Amino acid sequence: MRSNRLGWILLAPTMIILFLFGVVPFLYIIWLSFHQWNPAAVNPDIIFIGADNFRKLVFDPGFLASLGVTLAFVTFAVLSELVIGYLLAQAFMKDFPGKAFFRTIHTLPLIMAPIIVGSVWKLMTTPSIGIIPHFLDSWFGYELNIGQSAVAAFVVTVIMDIWHWTPLVTLTLIAALVSLPPDPFEQAQIDGAGKRQIFWHITLPMILPALMATVFIRLMDALRIVDEVLMLTGGGPGSATRFLGVHIFREVFPRTSYGYGSAVSLIVLYLTIVVCWLLYVSMLAPRNPKKD
């Protein structure tokens, strides 16, 4: 075996960069979140104030509103993507010509820059330019205005996310469905099981690991949504689409209260980690008993 020194030398640049731009920022916001630092204020010094920033955070209506809409958005978007993605994956399992072609088109939104997705949907939904408000108005007499109606803005944001990310769910579930063995399904059909029974008792348990991995990845990404929303609605109207990332970018960052901003950033990071960790655990938990 060669000396490990070369190994460390090869790893060193990676570790230094990730330390400087990954670990240091993390430690820095932990430290700052217990301090008051406002260069624009009367007293621009960095002062230790204990947990005051966090105390302020718990009663900050802006932050709480943002947290609420983020959770609502994540729930609606990820659930819809799972249901639609599963149905599309099932539809893809049939035998038909041109599968590779349709699959390619279906993958397309995944490579698009989030900000371009935002601009595409802005052009689709802005009144007088967009095609959607035009048809909604002339067919149903409904006036879609994402700049004024909070509900409309929220729904369009969810639809945009569904358009952007459902393909990922579809493609992961296709991969899972393709790898299933045919025997249990044939057996169930011989035994006279209905479609619903087959889904709940055979398909779902067998694709559960892949499904949970998809949920985990989608949740992580949905929690961090910023670019698309900044482009589409700018977080408005009001706080209807001011998700946590948008809140940091629009409200917290421009103000120069760095200590409080750090506390907000830290809590958002903590929430993401907790959600991911809970999912990771729930992903592994159903599999563990079988190993015993």
DSSP secondary structure code for residue 249 in this structure = I
Smaller CB separation from other proteins, 140 or 292: 140
Smaller CB separation from other proteins, 32 or 77: 32
Smaller CB separation from other proteins, 149 or 272: 272
Assess 7 for contact with other proteins (CB under 8 A). Answer: yes
Rounded to 5°, the CA angle 124-128-134 comes to 65
Place of tokens 């790893």: 11
DSSP secondary structure code for residue 187 in this structure = H
**Spatial separation of the C-alpha atoms in residues 178 and 176, rounded to whole Å:** 6
Given candidates 89, 120, 146, 156, which one binds other proteins under the rule CB under 8 A? 120
Given candidates 41, 64, 83, 131, which one binds other proteins under the rule CB under 8 A? 131
**Spatial separation of the C-alpha atoms in residues 47 and 45, rounded to whole Å:** 6
Subset of residues 22 to 51 that bind other proteins, contact rule: CB under 8 A? 22, 24-26, 28-29, 32
Instruction: Determine the residue type at 207.
Output: I
* CA dihedral for 177, 178, 181, 183, sign (positive or negative): positive
Contact 162, 98 (CB under 8 A): no
Q: What's the min distance (Å) between Cβ of 222 and other proteins? A: 11
Residue 36 phi, psi (nearest 5) = -110, 125
Assess 233 for contact with other proteins (CB under 8 A). Answer: no
Given candidates 154, 248, 251, 279, which one binds other proteins under the rule CB under 8 A? 248
Burial of 62 per CB tally in 10 Å (0-12, 13-18, 19+): middle
Q: What's the min distance (Å) between Cβ of 163 and other proteins? A: 7
**Spatial separation of the C-alpha atoms in residues 123 and 33, rounded to whole Å:** 40
- HSE value, Cβ hemisphere, 13 Å, CA-based, for 166: 22
Instruction: Kindly indicate which of the ranges 75-83, 103-111, 148-156, 188-196 contains the residues binding other proteins, using the contact rule CB under 8 A.
Output: 103-111
Q: What's the min distance (Å) between Cβ of 63 and other proteins? A: 13
Instruction: Determine the residue type at 214.
Output: T
Contacts with other proteins, 137-166, as mask; x by CB under 8 A? --------------------------x---
Smaller CB separation from other proteins, 184 or 234: 234
Instruction: Kindly indicate which of the ranges 57-65, 89-97, 139-147, 148-156 contains the residues binding other proteins, using the contact rule CB under 8 A.
Output: 89-97
Instruction: Kindly indicate which of the ranges 53-61, 147-155, 170-178, 198-206 contains the residues binding other proteins, using the contact rule CB under 8 A.
Output: 170-178
Assess 262 for contact with other proteins (CB under 8 A). Answer: yes
Q: What's the min distance (Å) between Cβ of 91 and other proteins? A: 6
Q: What's the min distance (Å) between Cβ of 9 and other proteins? A: 8
Assess 83 for contact with other proteins (CB under 8 A). Answer: no
Q: What is the largest CA-CA distance in the chain?
A: 80
Residue 126 phi, psi (nearest 5) = -70, 130
